[in-house]
Amino acid sequence: MTRSSLLVATRKGLFVAEGAGKAAQLTRAMFLGDHVALAIADRRDGSWYAALDHGHFGVKLHRSANRGETWTEISAPEYPTKPDGFVDKDIWGHDREWVTKGIWALEPALDSDGALWCGTVPGGLFRSTDRGRTWSLVESLWNHPTRVRWNGGGGDDAALHSICVDPRDPRCVVIGVSVGGVWRTRDGGATWRPHTAGMKANYVPPELAEWPEVQDPHHLVQCPSAPHVFWCQHHMGIYRSTDDLASWHELHAPPSSFGFVVAVHPRDPDVAWFIPAHSDQKRTPITGELVVARTRDGGRHFDLLRDGLPQRMAYDLVLRHALDIAPDGEQLAFGSSTGNLWVTDDQGDHWHALSHHLPPIYAVRYA
């Protein structure tokens, strides 16, 4: 088991836990009082990045070169001016503002040193080649004819929340958008194709149910050692692709396949974790029992893991970025909207509570 740091992004600050398994402890708090949407570590150069949402004062990005000892504000992605006369209205008929309203994904782009991808609300993908000093909108995706039909899922605007950089070829990138579907570029962002065959939505009329842009992937992951395998927690349930996104097939994890998060084992594409909620209508654990669902056989069977998790009157919801797996494939961590944080060092057989007293947790990430 390797020593690791865990970045915990919350409604009121960024917290760091250090140490492995049950020995892990929360050791530091930074940006105290500020809404931290997510934080990542770039393993290429050790930089940490934190995405802040100041509400009144807008969305900001900060970078640390010394593991959070000090932070420097860098540029946040900015949209270009909407062309005069361009019709871009949301599903309610309101003009869509071309303004960065949130940062919902940030990942190293592995094709050049210091390059990053950033997913935003209202749905734009941005790229930096200089560690976030400057950003440019990936116009090929933003100008795709279907993009004006992307819409909010929960919020008013579409959110680009998942970015999977293919370990076989860094110019190949898959993204997930709520609500806008699953898209892939094979040429570094020049062209994009949808990859939603097999997904279905019941929240639109039946004739639209299989349209790519109405699909609502809540979160999307790619197995690093078997990159032809993807897992998706979709609004409608759990999907898996084993043919490099040619198709998706639906899986069932009784008693509920509804949820937001998914994690896949870094070396075994058949092993994945989900955290179910009752349903779209009741976004709480089923009967007040918090469980993690784990499959070891590609989704044919799911075990419900309970050891160390509250089994009575528990109403934690785990948002889409709030589950992560460490590179060792043994440690996982998740945090809830009610400020509870759990870790495991045996793939979820036993969970250990690191804190019951944090602000609402938006994202966790191993550094």
Partner 1 sequence: MADVAFTPNLERHVECPRRAAPGATVREVLDGVFADNPRLRGYVVDERGALRRHMTVFVDGRQISDRERLSDRVEPRSEIYVMQALSGGS
- Summarize as ranges the residues that interact with partner 1 (CB under 8 A): 11, 54-58, 60, 73, 76, 78-79, 81, 97-100
Question: Distance between CA 69 and CA 248 in Å, rounded?
Answer: 43
Whole-number minimum distance, CB 78 to partner 1, in Å? 4
Whole-number minimum distance, CB 304 to partner 1, in Å? 32
Hunting for tokens 């060092």 — which residue is that?
Answer: 345
Q: Which is nearer to partner 1, 52 or 341 (CB)?
A: 52
Question: Distance between CA 271 and CA 226 in Å, rounded?
Answer: 12
Whole-number minimum distance, CB 52 to partner 1, in Å? 9
Q: Which is nearer to partner 1, 60 or 219 (CB)?
A: 60
Q: Which is nearer to partner 1, 55 or 145 (CB)?
A: 55
Question: Distance between CA 298 and CA 278 in Å, rounded?
Answer: 22
Q: Write out the DSSP string of 130-145.
A: STTSS-EE-HHHHTST
Question: Distance between CA 67 and CA 38 in Å, rounded?
Answer: 15
Inter-residue contact 322 to 261 (CB < 8 Å): yes
Which residues does 161 contact at the CB level (< 8 Å), separation at least 6? 104, 105, 119, 176, 177, 178, 218, 219, 320, 321
Which residues does 106 contact at the CB level (< 8 Å), separation at least 6? 38, 40, 49, 51, 61, 116, 117, 118, 119, 163
Whole-number minimum distance, CB 335 to partner 1, in Å? 17
Question: Distance between CA 359 and CA 123 in Å, rounded?
Answer: 26
Inter-residue contact 338 to 283 (CB < 8 Å): no
Q: Which is nearer to partner 1, 11 or 306 (CB)?
A: 11
Whole-number minimum distance, CB 80 to partner 1, in Å? 8
Which residues does 69 contact at the CB level (< 8 Å), separation at least 6? none
Whole-number minimum distance, CB 121 to partner 1, in Å? 13
Whole-number minimum distance, CB 99 to partner 1, in Å? 5
Whole-number minimum distance, CB 56 to partner 1, in Å? 4
Question: Distance between CA 7 and CA 5 in Å, rounded?
Answer: 7
DSSP three-state, residue 103: strand
Query: CA angle at residue 295 from 292 to 296, to 5 degrees?
Result: 135
Distances (CA, A) of 128 to 39, 82, 104: 17, 21, 16
Whole-number minimum distance, CB 6 to partner 1, in Å? 25
Q: Write out the DSSP string of 71-87.
A: -EEEPPP-PPPPPTT--
